[in-house]
Structure 1
Amino acid sequence: MINIDKLAREFADTVSGQSPDLACAALLIARLEHPHLNPKPSLECLDRMGVEARQQLADGGSKTQRTQFEILSRYLFRERGFTGNSTDHEDPRNSCLNQVLDRRTGIPVTLGIVFLEVAKRAGVRAAGVSFPGHFLVRLQAESSERNRLPLVIDPANSGRIMAEGDCRELLHQHLGDDSEFDLRLLEPVNAKQIIVRVLENLKRMYVRLRSFPQARNVTELLLAVKPSGAVDLRDRGLLAYHLRDFSGALRDLEAYLHITGRSRNDDVPVNRQMEHEQIWEHIKMLRRRVASLN
């Protein structure tokens, strides 16, 4: 059984600072499914692929960053066979870096982590892109190229190069035909933002599977990354309610309303006011329940 308090403390230490180690953080997330996971074999696997990729770059005599990026993409997706798991997108193993490395399949964000970690070891300039609904990877361009479409690939689709039309189509798939593509959607994100995306994907998956204890554990890690995250505090409270931890639910939901404010001001969106009223009803019921247990 996992000691979530201990894991959350270790996770908070790992993700603190400006440049947390992406692979180490991802392997700590994997301990939610594999409590006794030894990270060493997975890190050694990334190291080996980094050495092999660097050798391929040297053999190819590549000079440009774009060519290096393309060689690395071919190495990972054609030679090593990494691919998106299109048959069981909600398999928790897709979010566990150790399983992605072993099975060579996963979801876009974890496949993107593999690409970024091997790129770092091979000396290739790559960055993650938190595109709406689908994580992408791009060449880390020079500042003079920021107003042009960068080289972007889809890590879950055999490293397919994404033209602007492909990006626009992908955006419409996730946000609807009225959504407008903008180059700012392809801005690079940092390691902490990638870690949060992995956790948010995993939380949604567990909730859909009604695996509420696991979803609450994920929320503990999200709060370790961003302790003031009001939405995660609310979600932890609602998950505690589902798990009949009424004291924990009351504590978190009261804190959520305190942070976000129960206001009837016209400046507060109607949906936020309605949500606050629903949370307030939960709190009143929880207070009665907790009082009856004392």
Structure 2
Amino acid sequence: MTREEAEAILVEAGRADDDDFPLLEAAIACAIHDYPFRDPDPVRTLARNAAERLGERMDRESPDDALAETMAADLRLNGDLLHYDDPANTDVIDVAERRRGLSAALAVFYLDAAKRAGLVAQGVDFPNHFLLRVETPAGPVALDPFSQGRIVLPSELSRRALRAGLTPHIADRLDLLMAPVTDRQALIRLQNVLFSRAIKAEDYQGAERSAMRRALLDPEDHRPWLDVASAREKQGALNGALDALHRARTVGGQEVIIQPASFERLRMRLN
């Protein structure tokens, strides 16, 4: 699959309703958009096996135990503690091969398996660490895909929230700490991680690609286009940066605040 073909898949995913969002295929397209011409079949095979094993376990285990045991014990998916910053940890093709990754990348497999098996699970955009919310007969529980899918107790959620800088008033609100996000937002969270890492490494081409993927996945959000513009400007692609600013204004409407100085600075550099 080429980068252009991957981009076309992301455009279609962006047009899909949240209930029909093709998480796994969109995640594969994101990976190939970054590094083309790779075989995605191991990802699909792993996802298919996960759904089958989860379905078998659900007959005799609670939803949270079935999901955690399937993904972490049967399929050996876990967080990469030794090489946390390895770029492979954010790429679902590499994750499928290594069985290691960041929480937001591992969550793609958890969420896909849950959906196929009829288990209700959603992502939780927790500060600094992506979690999962799984509905059980006793109520929702939080799972940490980075730590072998173990349950995160309410008291630990509050402690983590305080360490992340949330106020005590917010850190005590489990309804806020466990607020679910859509599969689209879960995949966008992963692209945000990639963007931040690329900017830090001064990989501005990589930053542009990750911001572009966010723009394609959520075509109603103008903010990714601002990041595209910033990444292009740092590469010296000034016409492209101006075009991205105009796209941000087109998507967001006239109420979008873009400093006139941003346009003027780019125009002056062009002249």
TM-score normalised over the length of structure 1: 0.80
How far off is 1:44 after superposition?
1.8
CA contact (8 A) 2:114 2:121 kept: yes
Alignment of 1:182-261 (within 5 A): 182=173, 183-253=175-245, 256=248
Query: Hey, what does 1:108 align to over in structure 2?
Result: 103
Counterpart of 2:29, as a letter, is: L
Alignment of 1:126-141 (within 5 A): 126-140=121-135
Task: State the superposition RMSD in angstroms.
Answer: 2.7
Question: Please, which runs of 5 or more residues in structure 2 have no aligned partner?
Answer: none
CA contact (8 A) 2:63 2:135 kept: no
Question: What number of residue pairs does the alignment pair up?
Answer: 266
CA distance in 1, matches of 2:248, 2:117: 44
**1:109-153: CA deviation from partner (whole Å, max 9, x where unpaired):** 1111111222233333322212222111122357xx7xx6x2111
Query: Hey, what does 1:119 align to over in structure 2?
Result: 114
Query: Hey, what does 2:88 align to over in structure 1?
Result: 93
CA distance in 1, matches of 2:248, 2:22: 30
SS in 1 for 2:164: helix
How far off is 1:198 after superposition?
1.4
Alignment of 1:36-51 (within 5 A): 36-51=37-52
CA contact (8 A) 1:32 1:214 kept: no
Counterpart of 1:17, as a letter, is: A
CA contact (8 A) 1:172 1:179 kept: no
How far off is 1:192 after superposition?
1.2
Question: Please, which runs of 5 or more residues in structure 1 have no aligned partner?
Answer: 264-271
TM-score normalised over the length of structure 2: 0.86
Counterpart of 1:186, as a letter, is: M
Query: Hey, what does 1:165 align to over in structure 2?
Result: 155
Counterpart of 1:285, as a letter, is: R
CA contact (8 A) 2:107 2:123 kept: yes
Alignment of 1:71-86 (within 5 A): 71-86=66-81
CA distance in 2, matches of 1:121, 1:220: 29
How far off is 1:25 after superposition?
0.7
CA contact (8 A) 2:34 2:209 kept: no
How far off is 1:75 after superposition?
2.8
**1:204-245: CA deviation from partner (whole Å, max 9, x where unpaired):** 111111111011011111111223433212111111111111
Structure whose CA Rg is larger: 1
CA distance in 1, matches of 2:260, 2:221: 19
**1:153-209: CA deviation from partner (whole Å, max 9, x where unpaired):** 111112121111110111122225656222133122211111211111111111111
CA contact (8 A) 1:129 1:136 kept: yes
Matched, 1:174 2:154: no
Counterpart of 1:114, as a letter, is: F
Q: Percentage identity across aligned positions?
A: 21
